[in-house]
Structure formats: structure tokens, C-alpha cells
Amino acid sequence: MDIMDSLGYNTSLAEALAQAHALTGSWRSITRDLRAAEALTSEDIQQVRTLIATSLYPAQFIAHCLRQRRPDGTGPSTMMT
């Protein structure tokens, strides 16, 4: 069962929307984040893997990379910005 299938249940959907709103300030972040994840390329993953392995602060690095993506899920072809 994937994420979208599980959201077909009213309680799951309500919980996911509430959690997204609490964490990001908008329930719309669910679809935005899914589009961003779908837009990732294998090159993006490899670059992040390499940079995390050499980073002293991997969590901050990942947060920085995620902020580089536009709200529609698109962004630079490289995560090294």
C-alpha cells in the first residue's frame, strides 16, 4: 500500500493533513512534498549521499538541500547549491 492509497481512508487522510499542517504550516505540503520526491533524480541521490558522508552536520545539510527545491517540487538539477 503506498502513501496515496493509505490516504483514501478518512482517518488516515485527516491525520496526514493535520500533521502536515502542524509541521509545515500548510496541509498542501503533502502534495508538494510528494511532487518534490518524485522529481528527484538518481544524480540528486548520489550527490546527497556523497555530501552527507563528508558533512559534519548531515541533518542541516539535508534541510538546506530540501529548501533549494521550489514549492512545485522542481528545482536545480543538482542538489549542490
The CA distance from 64 to 77, in Å, is 15
For 21-58, the pLDDT digits (tens) are 998 899 888 888 888 889 989 999 998 888 877 777 77
The CA distance from 1 to 6, in Å, is 7
> Are 13 and 48 contacting, i.e. CB atoms less than 8 angstroms apart?
no
Residues spanned by the domain of 64: 41-81
Q: In this structure, are 50 and 34 located in the same domain?
A: no
* Number of domains, the chain: 2
The closest alpha carbon to 49, from 62, 38, 39, belongs to 62
Residue 4 pLDDT grade (very low, low, confident, very high; cuts 50, 70, 90): low
Q: In this structure, are 50 and 19 located in the same domain?
A: no
Total number of residues shown for the chain: 81
Residue the block writes with cell 502513501? 3
Residue 69 pLDDT grade (very low, low, confident, very high; cuts 50, 70, 90): low
Q: In this structure, are 34 and 68 located in the same domain?
A: no
Does pTM surpass 0.85?
Answer: no
